[in-house]
Amino acid sequence: MSGNYRQGGTGALITIAFRNIFRNLRRTLFCVAAVGIAVFFIVFYSSLIDGMMKSMHEVVQVFELGHVRAVSAQYEAESEYSPVQYPVAEGRSLAAVTERIRAIPGVRAVFPRISAYATLQESLVKHAALWGMNMAEETAVNRFNLTDRNDGLVEGRWPAPGGNECAVGLRFAEKAGLRIGDRIPLKTVSAQFSDKMWAPAVSGIFRFDYAKADGETIIADFSRLQRLLVLDDAAQQIIVYADSPEQSPRIAAEMEKILGPEDLVTEWRDQYWIVMMNMYQPLYYLIYLIFLIVACLLIVNTITMIIHERIKEIGMMGSLGMTRAEIVRVFFFESVFLAMAGATAGVIAGGLLTGIGQFFPLRWTAMAGESTFAELPAANAIFFDFSFASLLRSWLMGVLVASVFTLFPSLKSAFVEPVEALRR
């Protein structure tokens, strides 16, 4: 028997370990279930968090910074007030500057934008954010409705270039009782610090499925708002979209050379909430690790019990010529098989749930209320982010952590003396 075993080598040890997991099916199923549940939750929560991160990236890129944004340093210092008296590239031709930026390799689109505050009159809604955008060009690049992946327009049309028109969010229209054709008397402050009275007609109603935009935003044509705010040929912001978000650092560096030190160039990754969520990534992995450690305690306990129950068997294995290292490997391989089976079951269950869930968004406002996420740059609809890379990462994490933890009780078998074991 000893000679046949030696010819088998590690393969024989693996065969012995594999057969051992069927000796007590109830115990095996408990171990597999423990690891499987832990890995399932890792797949579920990592997919949910990745989906939330993806939503935040999209909101920041579409509504706030693009891939790269340029503003004046003075504007950035007072950005909470959205001041329009600090244009980007002040003293230079906006058209010339945007052309130079558009010529940077990897740049897909360049849009000037304006953001200001407005006070509404004769309305139940007293304050609103006033956005100046060229929607005909921007909707060709972005899908503003973050759930349905379209331009977000649900009624009417976007404001005509240069017209006294605007589009409002669906929630805004509901709160203010607005319909297509109604006028919105409002007051805003120009770049010359003068009050500007304006009463644009509602040409369209949009739903972006982003609470901040749908509930408090009025979109006007960029050129019309530019004239109203006495910005002449200037813009408050320049928003740049790249062929790929990964090209943002290089494009930002090129833009800094074009604009100079008076203006501030910001990448989308520098947005506050994006930075904060990235900082929390190690915490998420720590939580996943805690899930696995709790599950691994059952395997550790099981392997310890198995060693105690098979004490005579271990003595016999030693007397037949197995070294202590080989005995340890048998028990270690057995625990690895349990971990692999549990991790595989967890990945399959989690993968099926998140794979189906990626087509059915979770509604934050329905679960936690609109005010809970009012300041968070995330869409109302969060999709699970299903990926095979995430499933593989979760599977490896489950197997590796479980294997490392069960190595310690496996080592206990090496200290069993064959003669003493056979006496019991």
Whole-Å CA distances, 265 to 45, 85, 172 = 34, 18, 32
Longest CA–CA separation in the chain, Å:
100
Residue 2 confidence class, pLDDT cut points 50, 70, 90: very low
The rounded distance, in Å, linking the Cα atoms of 115 and 75 is 11
Residue 4 has pLDDT above 60, yes or no: no
The rounded distance, in Å, linking the Cα atoms of 260 and 139 is 30
pLDDT digits (tens, 9 = 90+) for 17-75: 788 778 778 878 888 888 888 889 889 988 988 888 888 899 999 999 999 999 999 99
Instruction: Give the residue among 8, 16, 4 at the shortest CA–CA distance from 413.
Output: 16
Cα 168–362–58 angle (5° rounding)? Answer: 55
Q: Give the mean pLDDT of 253-269.
A: 93
Give me the helices (H) in 310-415, please: 311-319, 324-357, 364-368, 388-412
Beta bridge partners of 363: 381
Q: Please say whether the beta carbons of 65 and 239 come within 8 A.
A: yes
**Parallel, antiparallel, or unpaired for β 68-72 and 263-267?**
antiparallel
Structural domain boundaries in the chain: 2-58+277-423, 66-270
Q: Would you give the distance in Å from CA 140 to the centre of its chain? A: 24
Find where tokens 């992946």 sit. Answer: 149
The pLDDT score that the predictor gives to residue 283 is 82
pLDDT digits (tens, 9 = 90+) for 135-178: 999 999 999 998 888 999 999 999 999 999 999 999 999 999 99
Which one is predicted more confidently, 232 or 122? Answer: 232
Find where tokens 């040890």 sit. Answer: 13
Cα 63–67–70 angle (5° rounding)? Answer: 85
Q: Please say whether the beta carbons of 143 and 149 come within 8 A.
A: yes
Residue 187 has pLDDT above 90, yes or no: yes
pTM, rounded to two decimals: 0.79
